[in-house]
Amino acid sequence: MNRIDSRFQELAQAGKTAFIPYITAGDPTLDVTMEVVLALEKAGADIIELGVPFSDPIADGVVNQEAAQRALLHHVTLHDVVAMVSKLREKTAIPLVLFTYYNPVLAYGHEAFARDAAGAGVDGVLCVDLPPEESRDYRRLLHDFGIATIYLIAPTSTEERIRIIAEASTGFIYYVSRTGVTGVRQDIESSVGDMVQAIKRYSDTPIAVGFGISTPEQAREVAGYADGVIVGSAIVRQIGEQGADPSMPGAVGAFAKTLVDATKGL
């Protein structure tokens, strides 16, 4: 069983919600990213999303765009991120998801990417700009290698789109809590809970909610109706502000712990 499936199964049996932090791989360096991953796991993260740096991250707000740019200045590639995951597997078994755009995957080659990612220990891939209708070969290969394919559902998705995306998604479904790009928000849209319930009519796959969640209060609210809470920009911003400060991974872990506790109802 895929590590993502196992983790959600364990959480469901315990009546708990998954906490899923997002960070940009290679910001400030790949070695520091590994330290942050381990700090997030120690803080109680259940699954970790690793953003693959890309030059035109159209789904990302300023904070994540700047993080990707910092990583690209160090020439971090998808190959480098896959190699980093292989090194991480010497130290942790936490489920890891690559959050990427399609261009790096296409350049890598579907089969080579699926083979190398599986060999490194990647558990899932979320390819932001690749719709299910255009991804049959990609999905088949990832599934053959035991890697989950995660897709986004937006507030504007029609029932037919929800059905198509839900059927194509494995591991979990990522529900975007609001229209627009990633980034810290003051409030969670009141419609999010209803949309999560609507998606559940089409699939038993766990639903994680992201885009804009940044405080323990927001995490606690979303945990009341979702299977997973995703926090990205608030963590990425802290990494960017502290940079290569040796204390940064510990500080990020301490911040994440407040979000973990809220997600778990502690």
For helices 248-263 and 30-43, what crossing angle results, to 10°?
40
pLDDT of 218 > 50? The answer is yes
pLDDT 10s digits, 14-57: 999 999 999 999 999 999 999 999 999 999 999 999 999 999 88
Angle at 89 between CA 84 and CA 91, to 5 degrees: 105
Band of pLDDT at residue 187, cut at 50, 70 and 90: low
d(CA 82, CA 100): 12
Tell me the pLDDT tens digit for each residue of 61-96. Answer: 899 999 999 999 999 999 999 999 999 999 999 999
> Strand ranges (DSSP E) for the chain?
18-24, 48-51, 96-100, 124-127, 148-150, 152-153, 173-176, 207-210, 228-231
> Could you tell me the residue ranges of all domains in the chain?
3-263
Domain 3-263 is of which CATH architecture?
A: Alpha-Beta Barrel (3.20)
Q: What is the set of active-site residues?
A: 49, 60
Distance CA 219, CA 99 (A): 21
Please tell me the distance from the alpha carbon of residue 49 to that of residue 172, in angstroms, as a whole number.
12
Pick the range with the lowest mean pLDDT from 61-75, 140-154, 161-175, 179-193.
Answer: 179-193
Sequence-ordered strand ranges (E) for 119-213: 124-127, 148-150, 152-153, 173-176, 207-210
Residue 128 and residue 259: Cα distance in Å, rounded? 25
CA-CA distance, 239 to 254, in Å (whole number)? 12
User: How far is 123 from 22, CA to CA, in rounded Å?
Assistant: 15
